[in-house]
Structure 1
Amino acid sequence: MSSEAQQASDSSDVQNLEFYLQHSEEQEAVLGGVQDVLPGQFKRIAAGKSSLDVLGVRSGGGKMDAHMLTLLQSAFPAVPITADIVEGRSQLTDNFKALIAKTPNLQKIPFVWHSMSSEDYEKQVKAKGDVKKFDFIHMIQMLYFVDNLANSIKFFHSLLNNNGMLMIVIETAHDGWDTLWKTYSKELCGDSISEYRSSAEVITCLKSQGLKYEEYDVPNTFDITECFNPASETGQRILNYMTAKDDFSQFSTPETRAGILDLLKNKCSVKKGDRVMFKAKMSCIIVHA
């Protein structure tokens, strides 16, 4: 793919992501879910430390990073904080920087930007040999995109300081996303997501590596009623995102499209009045150093 084609593809992916986040309120659900978990964990990881180093992996536009960094600052106002951000999509990094520019408390934090994928960051760190350690690393809704799940978890866990924590947020096993992507894995897995994973695969990796962890539920549903109206642009764009396709209406065969829609309505969702609410519960997994 040429650089121009790659940029166009990245731009389309970012637009689909932002449209989905706007309509699903997923980030609000995650923030609500971690609100009770993080203060106690932050108190634990910060004990006795004179500075705190944070790493965000595939942080996107920075909304959740901003919230968590603000929580950390408010809990430890006298402790200096640094933030390293790994994000390969330049448009989202620009959005993040714009968010910092209008958020005074974030301007007190020195940011280091790594404009690359998590796997390229891993290669760079290993090549340099000068490894920066972190007290808090978060990987929110991004482990679908790595080639080797076990290696990625092992590497980022190795970057933790004493008492540090790795926070993974991922779709819960046996809920809507897991049902959709595992039922239609052959049709849906492709360039961006080669192998779908849920909390089940992550926990299997953690157990096999002997890592100590805790799992917390992040409840979430979102309205997909419009997805069943072929004339609805909103519905089609949500379907594009949910299936990781540029155009769901042109995707595969009519039978496959019909099968996916039937699965979405009858196995992946619940009815709420006349609305179809997709079951999108997530797991917040805290992994200890």
Structure 2
Amino acid sequence: MYTHIFNLNKGLWRLLQQESDDPKAVVTNPVLEDLLFCRPPTTMKKPQLDGSVALKEWRGSRWWAGLKSCVDALCLFNIAVTEESKARTMTAPFRSLIEDYSRYLKSFELFLDRSSQHQCMQDFIHNTLPDILGSIGGGRPVFNVMGVGSGAGEIDLEMLAQLHMKHPQVKVDNEVVEPSTDMLHKYKGLVSKTPNLDYINFTWNKMTASEFEKHWQDENLGEKMDFIHLIQMLYYVKDPEATVSFFRSLLDEDGKLLISLVSGEGGWGKLLRTYRAAHCNTEINQCVTIGDIKTFLDTKDIPYTKYVLQSHMDITECFTEGDEVGELLLDFLTDVVEFSKNAPEHLKKGVLDLLRHPDCSKQVDGRIIFNNNLEVLVVES
């Protein structure tokens, strides 16, 4: 695999960046500086900046020592560089899955059925979240809580139950921000069937995150929040960093902002990073991972705590041509309506090869199990 050819100016910087959360760290390594800026040792002929160089020519040189740090990325080279360069020539003609709500709902329900994501989030809520919630509120008799993109409310009510167990005497004003009429209806139905919620006052906001931000600013609402959660919703905003900044600005002095997204290091992160140009919607940022948010927070010196949630998903049917379950799962993984029918053959093959790659999936009892890890950030005020 180390004899693949790659274009230096298009591929190397991207390759090296994948090995560090801090892009500046790459150019502080003198060996990698030589690699990046094409400064060969005297025994080697200097490569042309606009040419291609065979990695096998670097064996035995000090360049090769630098490349060893990039070995994981190199294993994916044939997919991640070659296919991405093809993807960049496309104009992303695909329809985003969220534009077809009925198909999105079917694929999302299938995803929940095939994935351990819901279970790993529940484990986090029951085992880790209580200690986090114990530090909020400052002894006030009423806590202000906000859920953004709350869906049908199951996760919200789980978290509110943990909050109540930690602070049994406290009343809760709970702001629900959710753009879907159907989801809000289900949430309200769940509340009506759930006993012992008299300590919570619900305020329903049928709005997107950006609409809520405008509403909050227009109404000049100065209320501060003790706990805000953004569970798997930053994929659906135009500017994730601005969204995080706004909701963090609403926190009280001891408040917490909880963010969950797919891990940038898991299978989904690799998929999004490789095919970002090919099928990411320009109006919203479906390709964001927790790594992007960590980079933003680090740049601003905003303190946070990170938690990794181990999760997996059975994607075996994705590799059976024409399988309805597989096609729905592919739609959800790529966020593209009928991806398997609409994608060019080279792009479809590249996605399937990457999904099957050991860096993204493993085989268990003949099934292909995708690394679907989540990460949670708890951001300080």
TM-score scaled by length of structure 1:
0.92
- Counterpart of 2:370, as a letter, is F
CA contact (8 A) 1:215 1:283 kept: yes
- Taking the aligned partners of 1:19 and 1:274, their CA distance within structure 2 comes to 20
Structure 1 residues 134 and 260, CA gap change in structure 2 (3 angstroms): same
Query: How far did residue 131 of structure 1 move?
Result: 2.6
Provide the residue aligned with 2:127 in structure 1. 36
- 1:120-139 residue pairs with structure 2 within 5 A? 120-139=211-230
Query: How far did residue 191 of structure 1 move?
Result: 5.7
Query: How far did residue 145 of structure 1 move?
Result: 1.7
Provide the residue aligned with 1:111 in structure 2. 202
CA contact (8 A) 2:173 2:201 kept: yes
Deviation string 1:4-34 (CA, Å, 9 cap, x unpaired) is xxx9833433333233222223222112134
- Unaligned stretches of 5+ in structure 1? 1-6
Q: What is the CA RMSD across the aligned residues, in angstroms?
A: 1.9
- Unaligned stretches of 5+ in structure 2? 1-97
CA contact (8 A) 2:224 2:252 kept: yes
Provide the residue aligned with 1:3 in structure 2. none
Which deviates more, 46-55 or 11-20?
11-20
Counterpart check, 1:277 vs 2:277: no
Which deviates more, 135-144 or 186-195?
186-195
- Counterpart of 1:110, as a letter, is N
- Taking the aligned partners of 1:270 and 1:34, their CA distance within structure 2 comes to 27
Provide the residue aligned with 2:148 in structure 1. 57
Query: How far did residue 162 of structure 1 move?
Result: 2.2
- Counterpart of 1:37, as a letter, is T
Structure with larger Rg: 2
Provide the residue aligned with 1:26 in structure 2. 117
> Which secondary structure state, in structure 2, belongs to the residue aligned with residue 44 of structure 1?
coil
Deviation string 1:91-114 (CA, Å, 9 cap, x unpaired) is 111111111111112354211111
Pick from 234, 239, 242 the counterpart of residue 148 of structure 1.
239
Provide the residue aligned with 2:162 in structure 1. 71
Query: How far did residue 192 of structure 1 move?
Result: 6.6
Counterpart check, 1:268 vs 2:360: yes
- Taking the aligned partners of 2:99 and 2:347, their CA distance within structure 1 comes to 27
Query: How far did residue 174 of structure 1 move?
Result: 2.1
- Taking the aligned partners of 2:283 and 2:267, their CA distance within structure 1 comes to 19
Which deviates more, 118-127 or 16-25?
16-25
- 1:168-187 residue pairs with structure 2 within 5 A? 168-187=259-278
Query: How far did residue 156 of structure 1 move?
Result: 0.3
Structure 1 outlier segments of 4+, above 6 Å: none
Query: How far did residue 200 of structure 1 move?
Result: 1.5
Q: State the percentage of identical aligned residues.
A: 31
- Counterpart of 1:286, as a letter, is V
Counterpart check, 1:92 vs 2:92: no
> Which secondary structure state, in structure 2, belongs to the residue aligned with residue 104 of structure 1?
coil
